Amino acid sequence: MKPRVRFAPSPTGQLHLGGARTALSNFLFTKSQGGSFLVRIEDTDLERSKTEHTDQICDSLKWLGLHWDEEMAYQSENGSSYEKGLDSLLESGKAYRCFASKEELDDIREGSDSFHYPGIWRDRQEKEIQREIDEGTPFTIRLRTPQTGNTEFNDLIYGSITVSNTEIDDFIIARSDGSPVYNFTNVIDDQAMGITHVIRGEDHVSNTSKQILIYEALGHDTPEFAHLPMILGEDKKRLSKRHGATGVDEYRRSGYQPGALLNYLALLGWNPGTEEEIFDLDELVNKFDLGKVQKKSAVFDHKKFNWVSSQHLMAQDSSDLLENVIEMDPRWGEDHDRSLRMIDLMKPRSNSLVDLIDRSGYLFGKPEEFNEAELAKVWKEDTPGIMKDLGTRLEPISDWASSKLESRFKEFMEETGLGFGRVMRPLRLALCGSLQGPSLFEIMELLGKDESLNRINYAISEF
Ligand code: GLU
């Protein structure tokens, strides 16, 4: 049977890295076996669920290329199936109404760290229950859970997980306002959608044994389960806002490529067992093995992510990148050929498109700022003289091509006996405002003769 999996976000915020990693793991697992990837929006919490979050989650999934099959499901539209499920459990006696008041339960709770419902309404007489119903006493619905034995499942990542049934009380499956709880709606929908594998964050492990008891009470087969270890920040604490960007959209706006984010997320706690680590989505589908995901939490290492990202950037077609760059900074659209060449030069040395844009600002005008420390390092007393001399040598060149410039520079350095550090470094600073960057001859060609000479003259007069 081909797998059917789902990603089931609650639309209470944007898609964050943890969610994206869950969605990706589901996607890779099912697609490698020709199965289906479904999305279900768990929007039963009416107060916290927002359409704008649903939209943003969907946009981020699409941007990542994690396209779902079939129509998206919404829990808010499934109210009647939850009611049916609750009715059938009440009818079969697998669930029962509990009329205990809040005060009564608070009294029991008092003084104990963990609350274990003592089954107050588990074995009441039918007429007693009917009387409360007739009197309109509010009630919750609780699952009649087994009091002996164990609930066991084989997690595809963690292996066998066993919980003693004595640890599971008759938990609530519908609140006193009639609304069903997460564990219940989740089971009803997974069953209705024919989900074969539930792949989600490790924070749901404690729900799984309860959900298995619900499946059993309903008389349904349980799906397989896999819980993904948590993602931690570099300080080994659970990934949160404190660690910087955690939303997929923030990465998108910073000019990271979706393929890079997917690649890195797949590598969290998993490796292909070979040296190669850079993969596109299709390759990941072929290689990823859920069973080989480590049980240990994985640290989101920004340095490694930037490396993965730079590899993806390098492999991408410059004209595709240019389109994205123009969206972020329209000036790049003014001279296509020049922009394309700049992207060729910069893509092997950038982590993201924003990084590329930020470090190419000198293309569009004289550098605004010069790094004081770098200036002190390379702009010596005799530098203005050297630059002046250089300017005079460059002036007569009519074919301002990088190859011509390069040979003219070689001549200049040979004739004057000046080294690279005395000529090229101050020149780079004058032209680009920083000491790092691609081939200076290429940059000069892109800037053009007039602009290059102007910047040299400006530096001579200013520094
Ligand atoms: N709505 C739940 C969440 O966002 C889904 C958990 C699950 O996949 O079962 O955490």
Q: How much is the pLDDT for 368?
A: 85
Handedness of CA 238, 241, 244, 248 (dihedral sign): positive
Measured between alpha carbons, how far is 12 from 45 in angstroms, rounded to an integer?
Answer: 9
Q: Are 361 and 401 in contact (CB under 8 A)?
A: no
Residues above pLDDT 70, as percent of the chain: 100
Q: How much is the pLDDT for 288?
A: 94
Which atom of ligand 1 is found nearest the CA of 42?
Answer: 1
Which protein residue has the closest C-alpha to ligand 1 atom 6? 8
Q: How much is the pLDDT for 225?
A: 98
Measured between alpha carbons, how far is 58 from 66 in angstroms, rounded to an integer?
Answer: 9
Q: How much is the pLDDT for 242?
A: 84
Which protein residue has the closest C-alpha to ligand 1 atom 5? 8
Average pLDDT over residues 257-274: 95
Which atom of ligand 1 is found nearest the CA of 6?
Answer: 8
Active site residues per annotation: 241
Measured between alpha carbons, how far is 289 from 270 in angstroms, rounded to an integer?
Answer: 8
Q: How much is the pLDDT for 455?
A: 97
From 108, 179, 110, select the one nearest 138 (Cα to Cα).
179
Q: How much is the pLDDT for 371?
A: 85
Q: How much is the pLDDT for 111?
A: 77
What's this model's pTM, rounded to 2 decimal places? 0.92
Residues above pLDDT 90, as percent of the chain: 93
Q: How much is the pLDDT for 335?
A: 97
Q: What secondary structure letter does DSSP report for 137?
A: -
Ligand 1 centroid distance, CA of 112 (Å): 29
**Average pLDDT of the chain, as a whole number:** 96
Average pLDDT over residues 287-314: 95
How is residue 358 written in tokens?
């930020």
Q: How much is the pLDDT for 241?
A: 80
Average pLDDT over residues 334-346: 97
Q: Are 249 and 290 in contact (CB under 8 A)?
A: no
Q: What is the dihedral of CA 205, 163, 188, 295, to 10 degrees?
A: 30
How is residue 402 written in tokens?
């990088």
Residues with CB under 6 A from ligand 1: 8-10, 42, 186, 198, 200, 204
Measured between alpha carbons, how far is 262 from 265 in angstroms, rounded to an integer?
Answer: 5
Please tell me the chain's helix, strand, coil percentages from 3-state DSSP, rounded to the nearest 5. 55, 10, 35
Average pLDDT over residues 209-228: 98
From 116, 143, 139, 96, select the one nearest 108 (Cα to Cα).
116
Q: Are 279 and 263 in contact (CB under 8 A)?
A: yes
Q: How much is the pLDDT for 346?
A: 97
Which atom of ligand 1 is found nearest the CA of 199?
Answer: 8
pLDDT over 90 (residue 46): no
Measured between alpha carbons, how far is 383 from 419 in angstroms, rounded to an integer?
Answer: 12
pLDDT over 80 (residue 238): yes
Beta-sheet strand order (sheet of 95-98): 95-98, 140-143, 172-174
Ligand 1 centroid distance, CA of 178 (Å): 21
Handedness of CA 393, 397, 401, 407 (dihedral sign): negative
Ligand 1 centroid distance, CA of 10 (Å): 7
pLDDT over 80 (residue 301): yes
Average pLDDT over residues 103-121: 90
Ligand 1 centroid distance, CA of 248 (Å): 18
